[in-house]
Structures are given as C-alpha cells and as structure tokens.
Amino acid sequence: ETGVTQSPTHLIKTRGQQVTLRCSSQSGHNTVSWYQQALGQGPQFIFQYYREEENGRGNFPPRFSGLQFPNYSSELNVNALELDDSALYLCASGPQGSGNTIYFGEGSWLTVV
C-alpha cells in the first residue's frame, strides 16, 4: 500500500477528445509527479507539482497539463488526444525529506481509438 490512489483505472477515449486523470496522495507528500508508460517502455516523466505549482517538466507538449490541490490531490489533463497517447499513466509522490524516493499509484490505463 503506497498511499497513492488513482482514478479511473481504465478508460477509452476517441482521438481529439480531452481526458482528466485523478490522483490522491498521502498527507505530507507535497510533491507529486505524473509519468507516462507506453507498452514495453519504462515510465517517462511528464511533470511534477510542488505546493500547487508546476516546477519541472519532461519532454511533453503543452497539451499535457496538470493541477495540484491543497488536499494532496492532483489532476493530469490531456487535450487533443492522439493515438500515441495510449499508455499507462502513473501518479507518484514521496515523503518530504526522502530525497528522490517516490511511490506509484496503481495507474490509469488510457486507450485512444
């Protein structure tokens, strides 16, 4: 049990649509990040949020955006979905003071058709 929960577990969207994925992390985990994991690949860092502001982004276009809320929940929004966006989306957080140690939620499987 990592204390990181995600929803929904699975969803199917049509190309061009928008999707919102949700994550809830533990109290005290004030940094949250999102990763994309395509089939057969390792997770790729999308961005991280600290105290409700984005403070780091990987190599992902602006149509990937996020929000972090005071209650340790966060969202990943993806606009103008493309077929290549089909992947497992992982939310991760870690205890303050643990360096770079992070724990993942169960993930949201997104299929774009």
Number of residues in contact with another protein, rule: CB under 8 A? 30
Q: State the nearest-atom distance from the C-beta of 74 to another protein, in Å.
A: 11
| Residue 43 binding another protein, by CB under 8 A | yes
Give the integer Cα–Cα distance in Å for 46 and 107. Answer: 14
Of the candidate residues 68, 81, 85, 105, the single one contacting another protein (CB under 8 A): 105
What are all long-range contacts of 58-62, with beta carbons under 8 Å and residues at least 24 apart?
Answer: 60/36
Torsion of CA 25, 30, 34, 40, to 10 degrees: -70
Give the integer Cα–Cα distance in Å for 40 and 47. Answer: 21
Q: State the nearest-atom distance from the C-beta of 14 to another protein, in Å.
A: 24
Q: State the nearest-atom distance from the C-beta of 39 to another protein, in Å.
A: 11
Residue with tokens 């190309």: 15
Of the candidate residues 19, 21, 48, 72, the single one contacting another protein (CB under 8 A): 48
| Residue 50 binding another protein, by CB under 8 A | yes
| Residue 99 binding another protein, by CB under 8 A | yes
